[in-house]
Structure 1
């Protein structure tokens, strides 16, 4: 079910169900990876611009779950659920992401962290179960722009952490 092995064949089969966003972050890979490991980090940057996050449960380990609510700037609450399916520090995190544990529309995402000099290239590669679900996420929920904003918020947070640590 995962699209991590055999990238060329998998990409051809899933291209119409994918969303891929990436960002170069001016911080070391370990620091960028660390921003995903604890609620004290995630709650400060997760989500698109103007969103906040309230966590109900969090355990960063393979099989662990993050249950949270994203609060939109218009006051709308979005229940979210993530189960971590693979964690390879500091290069890769895979997850199943939906509205709840039994969500039939949950999708798979893989985050990769690649060193580029003193910076880190972060890529979020998401594969939906159907093209219709992917199109809905893009058209109705702004998944591409939201993903870009989320990675932008991550970049701002991590570079801020580095600045605080340097002072």
Structure 2
């Protein structure tokens, strides 16, 4: 995880699976619910319409019992190359996930660009670790035989 540019965090990870499978993990509600968020968090999806302009309304349940309502809108979907969404509740930021084919393996570049510098500085300490845990959980899902 690095701070890259103004108000932006970037994580990169390589997974030993084809990028079509990574893209599916990002765009299948059943799979997305299993890995999205830092370690110890679970999700309840209230609405998810995976198309440009489609809303994703969900509650993240923290390991301490706290609940975090979230509202996102999908901006761009380019199978199997890219998913872009705007997080519009609480801290506002854009997530851009890029999936690069590495001869059957996939490099995921996870970019999180905050709208506001003050919010970025507030969120940066926990987002840096949370984004890494998010990618850890994605990797764990991708190694399961039943997906």
- TM-score (structure 1 length as normaliser): 0.81
2:53 aligned with 1:69: no
Give the equivalent residue in structure 1 for 2:109: 123
Alignment of 1:3-82 (within 5 A): 15-82=5-72
Paired positions, count: 144
- 1:110 corresponds to 2:96: yes
Q: Which has the larger radius of gyration?
A: 1
State the TM-score, normalizing by the size of structure 2.
Answer: 0.92
- For residues 82-125 of structure 1, the C-alpha deviation after alignment (integer angstroms, 9 at most, x for no partner) is 100011000011111132xxx6x421121100011221111111
Q: Distance in 1 between matches of 2:110 and 2:55?
A: 19
Deviation at 1:152, TM superposition (A): 1.0
CA RMSD of aligned residues (A): 1.4
The 5 Å alignment of 1:85-104 reads 85-99=75-89
Query: Does the 8 Å CA contact 2:60/2:68 hold for their aligned counterparts?
Result: yes
Structure 1: gaps spanning 5 or more residues: 1-13
Pick the structure with more strand per residue.
2
